[in-house]
Amino acid sequence: MTDCKSLLKNIEYKVLRGNVDRQVSSVVYNSNNVEKDCLFICIAGAKFDAHDKAAEVVENGAAVLVVSRQVELPENADVTVIQVEDTRYAMAFISAAFFGNPADKLKVIGVTGTKGKTTTTYLVKSILEHAGHKVGLVGTIEAIIGDQKIPADNTTPESYILQKYFKEMLDAGCDMAVMEVSSQGLMQHRTQGFTFELGIFTNIEPDHIGPNEHKDFEDYMHCKGLLFKQCKKGIVNSDDVHWEAVLKGHTCELETYGFSKEADLYADDVKLLKGEGFLGVDFKVKGLMDFEVQFHSPGRFSVYNALTAIAICRHFDIPVSVMQEALKEASVKGRIELVKVSKDFTLMIDYAHNAMALESLLTTLKEYEPKRLVCMFGCGGNRSKLRRYEMGEVSGRLADLTVITSDNPRFEKPEDIINDIKTGIGKTDGKYIEIIDRREAIAYVIKYGRPGDVIVLAGKGHEDYQEIEGKKYPMDERDIIADVLAGRQAPPANAEELAVD
């Protein structure tokens, strides 16, 4: 049991009913998880407001309610009701107190931006662990706590879950944590209740704008900037044209990085690397540090990701040799993930699942002057048709061959989705084939890969399932590639007919 008053010590509140001198068994914010003597926080979501369930929650045993407005309760209910201005904000501080303020005992690094968050966090984890630290991670793909990997529902989890993860990281012996910080997470106060050691801004482009997200680009930038009001030091990509707007009103010290020689830390003398089955970059780190780096991931954005990780790890006195070694070995699941299948051509898996991401990826790969650039992708069902047209047009314009296949068809017919993609490709003179079965499509691009090809399996990335008619079936592209190489997965029966010159 926990003293209720101690959970409220860092927030302003008013007692509407009962008193705070009572013990609570747990902190709960989901009405389905109510237990006897719990403190229940009423959260107003996009589709459901837990304030409307207050009476039911009390009947099921809640001892304390935290609310932001009046609620209807039985007159004789033995319950304490505490009013706060914003229950999500309060939940962050209550959760931190409930778990013993674990973030205060960790050095927490937060990375925000439209692109590069996931890769950067994994690179930072790799470098720090090469140096002997034990590092927890929270992000889009998963949370990693010691040997445990927990699939993610949100890039930045609810504050209660985040604080629970921090406590588990401490218990697992972690001394540091690195996490992706989404604009939605910042807007909903999921990262309140502690101070980040470092806050990082990678870049920003219009995204997540619409109902239940951000009303416009200005609001999106403002929410990203909230990170820099709760960190000790901010590390900022000063090449981004919007960085000053994002950082407006910041309260932390600032340090910059980028390609510009005016940045505190900058990348110089970038070279593209090509080898048997891999693509990468070589560059020099200048400014606050001076050394050379090789990173086996292609393109300018890979330089940014590596440079961001270096800018972060510099603050923890990581030796240059450790950074170089860690970056040379680093790989991030589903993010330009190079998979060695042949010495003759290069194959990679990437999460690019919209036109903007696909264009950035294919444009980067063309700089390596492949004999052919082959792009295999599909689009998700029950999502915007515009995305299909746009991705089809991008691939038709930039790839030498597009292999259209299934992604997560959900409740649509794969053939209908493919036809929409073909509409986009039809605006170009790009060559394409269609293979509905994604396993067969992967087998096809590997079997018919040519010397000098660069082949991209786009759209699924880290996902290890395919969603069809409400059910998720196991499907990991790495396993499929292994099956192809072992002869367990063949291309379609009509593969010879599909071959394109």
CATH of the domain at 400: 3.90.190.20
3 state SS of 488: coil
The pTM of this model reads: 0.93
Angle, helices 320-329 vs 117-130, to 10°: value is 130
pLDDT bucket at 210, cuts 50 / 70 / 90: low
Same domain, 349 and 404: yes
Quick check: 204 and 240 in contact, CB under 8 A? Answer: yes
- Using the 3D structure, point to which of 76, 98, 120 is the last residue of a domain: 98
Same domain, 260 and 405: no
* pLDDT at residue 213, rounded to an integer: 62
Quick check: 282 and 291 in contact, CB under 8 A? Answer: no
How many DSSP H helices and E strands does the chain contain? Answer: 16, 26
Residue 175: which of 229, 146, 135 has the closest Cα?
A: 135
pLDDT bucket at 209, cuts 50 / 70 / 90: low
pLDDT bucket at 217, cuts 50 / 70 / 90: confident
* pLDDT at residue 220, rounded to an integer: 86
Same domain, 231 and 317: yes
Residue 363: which of 309, 417, 299, 423 has the closest Cα?
A: 299
Same domain, 124 and 82: no
Angle, helices 385-398 vs 414-425, to 10°: value is 50
pLDDT bucket at 211, cuts 50 / 70 / 90: low
Q: How far is residue 422 from each of residues 85, 303, 396, measured CA to CA in Å?
A: 51, 34, 9
Quick check: 161 and 188 in contact, CB under 8 A? Answer: no
* pLDDT at residue 215, rounded to an integer: 65
Percent of the chain with pLDDT over 90: 89
* pLDDT at residue 207, rounded to an integer: 58
Mean pLDDT of 122-129: 98
* pLDDT at residue 206, rounded to an integer: 60
Domains: count for the chain: 3
* pLDDT at residue 277, rounded to an integer: 84
Distance CA 271, CA 275 (A): 13
- Using the 3D structure, point to which of 77, 98, 119 is the last residue of a domain: 98
* pLDDT at residue 368, rounded to an integer: 97
Say which DSSP state 472 is in.
Answer: E
Helices (H), 132-212: 159-171, 183-187
Q: In the 3-class helix/strand/coil scheme, how is 368-412 assigned residue by residue? A: CCCCCEEEEECCCCCCCHHHHHHHHHHHHHHCCEEEECCCCCECC
pLDDT of 331 > 80? The answer is: yes
Tell me which residue range forms the domain holding 384: 337-498
Dihedral of CA 14/16/20/26: which sign? negative
237 strand-pairing partners:
257
Distance CA 271, CA 291 (A): 14
Q: Which tokens is 436 given? A: 């509905």
Distance CA 61, CA 65 (A): 11
Same domain, 150 and 224: yes
Q: Which tokens is 41 given? A: 């926080």
Query: Between 385 and 205, whose confidence is greater?
Result: 385
* pLDDT at residue 75, rounded to an integer: 84
Say which DSSP state 359 is in.
Answer: H
Q: What residues contact 326, with CB distance under 8 A and at least 6 apart?
A: 123, 126, 127, 129, 130
- Using the 3D structure, point to which of 43, 64, 98 is the last residue of a domain: 98
Mean pLDDT of 446-450: 96
Q: Residue 433: in which H helix or E strand, if any?
A: strand 431-434
Q: What is the CATH number of the domain that holds 257?
A: 3.40.1190.10
Mean pLDDT of 421-447: 97
pLDDT digits (tens, 9 = 90+) for 333-353: 999 999 999 999 999 999 999
Same domain, 144 and 88: no
Query: Between 213 and 102, whose confidence is greater?
Result: 102
Same domain, 364 and 376: yes
pLDDT of 307 > 70? The answer is: yes
pLDDT digits (tens, 9 = 90+) for 147-174: 999 999 889 999 999 999 999 999 999 9
Quick check: 46 and 212 in contact, CB under 8 A? Answer: yes
pLDDT of 120 > 60? The answer is: yes
Surface-to-core class of residue 244, CB atoms within 10 Å of its CB (0-12 exposed, 13-18 middle, 19+ buried): exposed
pLDDT bucket at 278, cuts 50 / 70 / 90: confident
Lowest-confidence range among 74-83, 190-199, 203-212, 409-418?
A: 203-212
Mean pLDDT of 33-60: 94
**In the sheet that 265-275 helps form, which strands lie side by side, from edge to edge?**
148-151, 142-145, 135-138, 176-180, 107-112, 196-201, 231-237, 253-258, 265-275, 278-287, 291-295
Same domain, 353 and 314: no
Task: Name the average pLDDT for the chain.
Answer: 95
Distance CA 144, CA 177 (A): 10
